[in-house]
Amino acid sequence: MNLSAELDRWLPAPTRELLTRIGYCAAQKGYRACLVGGAVRDLLLGESSLDLDIVIEGDALDIARSFGTSGNPAPVLHERFGTATLTSGSFRVDLATARKESYHSPGALPSVHPGSIEEDLLRRDFTINAMAIRLGTERHGELVDPYGGRGDLQHGLLRVLHEASFKDDATRILRGVRYEQRLGFAFEKSSLELLARGLLYVRSISGDRLRHEIEHMLAEREPEHMLRRLDTLGVLAAIDESLSFGPGQFEAFRHAKANQLSAVRLESVLWCVLGWGLDKERLASVATRLNLPGRLLGPMQDSFALRVFEADLDRPGLRPSDVVGLLCDKSIVSLSAAELLYGHPLARSRVSLYLTHLRHIRPALDGRILRELGFVEGPAIGSALARLRVARLNGEVGSREQEVEMAQRILAGGPGTDS
Ligand code: ATP
């Protein structure tokens, strides 16, 4: 099968030409170049992918070095990894040497040797990602599909390439769930059985690698389906027995996405939702297992406190200043999660009110004005400002003039206002 027409259709002319030139450059040196992996899968699905992985049967760095000196854009070399990167408009083109791998123990990094394109494809996660397209020369556009990837793609199946696949690298379980939910595919029967047996090996995967896989999911369009599936398959429990993802979290994820948060904030909110059910000890164990960075762990710890506050926030008769007192030291991210997850409408509406309104309320007077009114420099000013803020929040003062009157009462040693 020849996919030149698909390449023409899905890649802009400069990027296509770049790939062809890489193919010719490889041929001149007696090597062969292929487009591989996700880009081939997406091309066959009628989509384009911005990440183009090229595998060289030969030496990728050798190609990259001479490619840059022949009037082509110069690739950035990553000598340590034996890879190189080029950019073409919004496309990123990565060059790597074809390799074969062997795993000495589950989850460990494999030992790697140069290999053929077929061997390189064999080390991949699923057959749909184990196809290649030849570049340059007279075989340009020819599909290399030694493991039946195209058939599986047509039937919507995720199939591992060999029985030990999940044992060698259990992150493939999470990758598989991501593709299953993203593409609306299903695990092929025996691959699903292997997945169930492979759960045992999730423990061999480092926290950083597992967290990266979860991060990849959170960046997808519908991460809630992926996490729900991880839960039902027992993958979350295999990561840490206290992790789960129930219908409440599912709904919260859906609503969080509708809130038009920046990507970074959305990701943090989603982590808070994921960790919502965890108590302090369990959160600590998940944090250790996934090596969670402080920027995520801090809001997740706040979320734990907020869960405890839900009953307090649901009490009738709370004043706005009481709400502020409970919420003022919690991160906005954790509050956004609480707003999504609280079951009690009154508590939820108070968090919303805090986020949209109460947290911005400040007295009109500031320290400088209080000094002008006669306050001496020191803690008295801070405490007067705090009392003014409470009065503002609770509607006991509504104008600058009323604040000045209140400040003068405080200065005179009077009660200021009921607070
Ligand atoms: P996505 O659309 O999610 O980015 P992709 O296929 O481009 O998909 P990458 O993570 O960029 O995914 O990986 C590129 C290719 O490398 C994959 O298509 C797959 O062939 C291979 N690969 C990546 N991770 C693994 C893994 N853990 N085990 C085996 N092969 C892998």
Q: What is the pLDDT of residues 84-115, one digit of tens each?
A: 999 888 889 999 999 988 777 877 777 888 88
Residue 370 alpha carbon to ligand 1 centre in Å:
62
**What pLDDT, on the 0 to 100 scale, is given for residue 290?**
96
Residue 166 alpha carbon to ligand 1 centre in Å:
14
Q: What is the pLDDT of residues 370-383, one digit of tens each?
A: 899 888 888 889 99
Residue 129 alpha carbon to ligand 1 centre in Å:
7
Spell out the long-range contacts of 385-390 with Cβ–Cβ below 8 A and sequence spacing 24 or more. 387/416, 387/417, 387/419, 388/363, 389/321, 389/361, 389/362, 389/363, 390/321, 390/419
**What pLDDT, on the 0 to 100 scale, is given for residue 104?**
79
Which residue in 351, 304, 295, 294 sits closest to 328, CA to CA? 351
Fold exhibited by the domain 4-155: Beta Polymerase; domain 2 (3.30.460)
Q: Ligand 1 pocket, 136 CB below 6 A?
A: no
Q: Of 181 and 139, which is predicted with more confidence? A: 181
Q: Of 415 and 35, which is predicted with more confidence? A: 35
Q: What is the pLDDT of residues 118-143, one digit of tens each?
A: 999 999 999 999 999 999 888 899 99
pLDDT at residue 218 is higher than 50: yes
Q: Ligand 1 pocket, 53 CB below 6 A?
A: yes
| Percent of the chain at pLDDT exceeding 70 | 99
Q: What is the pLDDT of residues 349-370, one digit of tens each?
A: 999 999 999 999 999 988 899 8
Q: Ligand 1 pocket, 125 CB below 6 A?
A: yes
From 92, 100, 125, 226, the mutation candidate for ligand 1 (largest count of ligand atoms within 8 A of CB) is 125
Residue 294 alpha carbon to ligand 1 centre in Å:
28
Residue 96 alpha carbon to ligand 1 centre in Å:
13
Which protein residue has the closest C-alpha to ligand 1 atom 6?
38
Class of domain 161-239: mainly alpha
**What pLDDT, on the 0 to 100 scale, is given for residue 417?**
44
Ligand 1 atom nearest residue 121's Cα: 20
Q: Ligand 1 pocket, 110 CB below 6 A?
A: no
Q: Ligand 1 pocket, 176 CB below 6 A?
A: no
Residue-range domain boundaries for the chain:
4-155, 161-239, 242-360, 367-411
Which protein residue has the closest C-alpha to ligand 1 atom 18?
37
**What pLDDT, on the 0 to 100 scale, is given for residue 349?**
94
pLDDT at residue 279 is higher than 50: yes
From 36, 81, 102, 129, the mutation candidate for ligand 1 (largest count of ligand atoms within 8 A of CB) is 129
Q: Mean pLDDT score of the chain, rounded to an integer?
A: 91
What integer is the mean pLDDT of 304-313?
Answer: 91
**What pLDDT, on the 0 to 100 scale, is given for residue 414?**
60
Ligand 1 atom nearest residue 171's Cα: 27
Q: Ligand 1 pocket, 21 CB below 6 A?
A: no
**What pLDDT, on the 0 to 100 scale, is given for residue 89?**
85
| Percent of the chain at pLDDT exceeding 90 | 67
pLDDT at residue 419 is higher than 80: no
Neighbours of 205 (CB within 10 A): 21
**What pLDDT, on the 0 to 100 scale, is given for residue 271?**
93
What integer is the mean pLDDT of 57-76?
Answer: 84
Residue 227 alpha carbon to ligand 1 centre in Å:
19
Residue 402 alpha carbon to ligand 1 centre in Å:
65
Residue 413 alpha carbon to ligand 1 centre in Å:
70
Burial code of 168-201, b = ≥16 C-beta within 10 A, e = fewer?
bbbbbbbbbbbbbbeeebebbeebbebbeebbeb
Q: Ligand 1 pocket, 149 CB below 6 A?
A: no
Q: What is the pLDDT of residues 315-349, one digit of tens each?
A: 999 999 999 999 999 999 999 999 989 989 999 99
Fold exhibited by the domain 242-360: Methane Monooxygenase Hydroxylase; Chain G, domain 1 (1.20.58)
